[in-house]
Structure formats: C-alpha cells, structure tokens
Structure 1
C-alpha cells in the first residue's frame, strides 16, 4: 500500500500555468532536497519524524508549518469527502512530489473522474499515470546540486520557469536542449516574487520567443 507524507491539503484556484483559474484540490507533499533560494514553501523541505501529526491536527492548522501526516490513497480520497471538496482537478505539489512513486494516487484519482496535475522540479523520475498532466519547473544549478533529467523534460506537458534576470532565461535555453528534436511544450515564464524588473523581462522574452506569461494569480487576489 502506497503511503504519502502530506504537508497540507486545501481547495482553491490554480493560479499558474495552463490551468490558471481552475478550481483545484492541492495536495502538498513533504520533502524536497532541491533547495531553491526563493522557494516560498521551505517548510516542506525536511521530513522530520518529530513533526509527524495526525491528519486532523495538520488540517486544523491555519499557518504554514513543517508538520506532516501520512495517508494512503483511500484515506486521502475520504479526506476530500470529509472536507466537502467539489473541485475535480487535483494538483500534487510540494516540496518535490516526485520523491514519491505517484502511480497509485494518480491512477486512483483518474479512475475516480479527477484530472490530475503534478508540479515538479524535473530532478526526479516522474512515476505516474500516463494521463497525468506534468508541469516541469526546471530547477537549474540549485544548492541541492541535482540535475534536471532529460526524461522529465520529455514527459513535460508544460514548462514553467521562474525568472528574475537574464541568466535564468539562458539557463532555460540550456535545459531545453535536453528535448533534442522533440517538440517543445508550452513554455511559461513566471516572474519571481512579482518583481517589476523580473516582470518586464518576462514580458519582453515571452513576446520575443512566443512563450507565455504565468503570473501567480492566487497571490494577486489574496488566496492560497
């Protein structure tokens, strides 16, 4: 039986990428060794056994926390029902969700009529149902020292790349070479922390490359 270490579960709107605006259930998994300096979920990085609580205790928290709970797919689906969630799109994020074998959870959710999306750094093999939508946000030259995998780039349905300066665009150009002759999926540039300079660079580059702009819409409208 597959068990997943979960930092939080909540229902909101997807604020980024192709599914922007879609009601979604977010399942945030615990654990990430990539170490992005600008990460806004650093509380999910470490899996500390002393931080494990019950699902009820974690779900009752209303602030970011390194606490986590462990559940099976069956328990998680029951949690959706107990919470009264109505969204039919599930976003599995982190942390780095591909630390886990996601085949069981993605298969069950798809069989139950959900669409499923994974948000990953591309530094781990993606093990999931074939119909899962994969968003790769390639993390290049991060402190964790983990390379972006060719297999992850080839599996991507969309590529979402945070940028703050020109070197981040150049890093993306390098990682896109992993695709070889394969078609490049839609590329979204996302300004880091909505900085004015980053936003202007993203707009300029998207127009020049025929790429797309991804704004963290949920932050603009003040939702999780």
Structure 2
C-alpha cells in the first residue's frame, strides 16, 4: 500500500475563533492547496499547490508562522505523532486550509480520534467530504466567488454551515441553498472581514430569523491572537 503523505502549510496552537466551537483550545493543522481562491481570504499563502511557487520546508518549520506559499511533506505517522507529542493537553484538532478535502484526511481524522482528540474539519464543501463519522464538520460555502460551488452532500454532512456575509447578495446566495441544509443544522452568519455593516446585517438577520441562525464573530481577531 502506498504511504499516505500530507502537504502541510502550518501547525499551531490557539483557540477556535469561529463558529459553534469558538473559544475551545485547539491545534490547527493548515493543509496546503485550495481551488476556490476567495478574494477576501486571509490565508492566501495556503492556495498554491506544490510545484507552482510553493517553497519546500522541513516539517519542523511548519511550527513557525510565515505567510508565504510553502509546505512540508509528512507521513500520517509523522503528523499524528507531532500533534500528540507537542500538544498532549489540547482537546481539539482543527483540520483546515486551503481546502483540506483535497487531501486524504479520513485516516488522519480516524487516528486523532482514536488517540482521544476531538477533530473538526473546516471545508468549503467544494469537494466530497470523507472523514471519520465522529468528526465535527463545518462547511463554509464559497458560492459567491467565480467558479464557487458547494456540494449537496457536503451540506447534508455538515454539523454547522458557516457563511461569510458581506451584504444582502451573500444572504440571498445562502437562502438559495438553505433547502439543501437539514433543518437541525445550525447556520452561523460570519461578518466579512469583521466589517461594521456586515456585522450589523448578520446581527439583524440572526435576531429576525431566530431558530438555528446565529452570529459567528471572529474571536481570534477580537483577542488579537493567531
């Protein structure tokens, strides 16, 4: 069997700043590569694929913040051992990107859960989601960008749908897919770049609609942490 390898941009410990798990101490594993390319993305350095201007670095260097296109290769064992040995007390591992669903993440989620970690996946829903059943899946649809899409199967699998809202057109785009989201799934409205007008729209919408709607504030930006 071919050995599983991951292309990793960075790994760091912080608190989850967004969505239903906000405030939870977490290890973030940012995988390299993304096909969506949202114009407001604050991690554009994680877009480029290997071989297209991405610097290759040793695995140890992914622990150092550096907002350049770069990646380290790691086997499943190397990645899991690094997380468990360096952060044994942190309960949550967040697999993000980039678009992590481009890589074979099911074995990674299975190994981390078996080791006693809670695992969360942050994905655009652009690709099929293949993770351990216990994985908490946040789908952030990128349907307002050129070429953007979200799969019905991703919306059905989501434990939370988190939509970036800048104006009424984003809200309309969300409403166009709401019938694909199970009624029990919470919908988090996240203000674009924490702009005041976007925050006001998210607040008003959540209060008016109630039910499963909530506002997702980027807590890490409020706290000014990574």
Q: Secondary structure at the match of 2:94?
A: strand
The corresponding residue for 1:102 is 105
Q: Which moved more, 1:213-222 or 1:80-89?
A: 80-89
Q: Secondary structure at the match of 2:207?
A: helix
User: What is the distance in 2 between the residues matched to 1:62 and 1:19?
Assistant: 23
- Mind listing any 5+ residue stretches in structure 1 that lack a counterpart? none
The corresponding residue for 1:57 is 61
The corresponding residue for 1:89 is 92
Q: Which moved more, 1:100-109 or 1:78-87?
A: 78-87
User: What is the distance in 1 between the residues matched to 2:92 and 2:84?
Assistant: 14
- Mind listing any 5+ residue stretches in structure 2 that lack a counterpart? none
Q: Secondary structure at the match of 2:98?
A: coil
User: What is the distance in 2 between the residues matched to 1:93 and 1:31?
Assistant: 10
Note if contact 2:141-2:149 (Cα within 8 Å) is conserved in structure 1: no
1:56 deviation in Å? 1.8
Please give the residue correspondences for 1:12-161 in structure 2 after superposition, counting only pairs within 5 Å.
Answer: 12-49=14-51, 51-59=55-63, 61-143=64-146, 145-161=147-163
Q: Secondary structure at the match of 2:189?
A: strand
**Root-mean-square deviation (CA), in Å?**
1.4
TM-score after normalising by structure 1:
0.94
Note if contact 2:11-2:62 (Cα within 8 Å) is conserved in structure 1: no
User: What is the distance in 1 between the residues matched to 2:130 and 2:87?
Assistant: 29
User: What is the distance in 2 between the residues matched to 1:84 and 1:67?
Assistant: 23
1:85 deviation in Å? 4.9
| Residue 3 (1) aligns with residue 1 (2) | no
Question: Aligned pair count?
Answer: 220
User: What is the distance in 2 between the residues matched to 1:67 and 1:12?
Assistant: 21
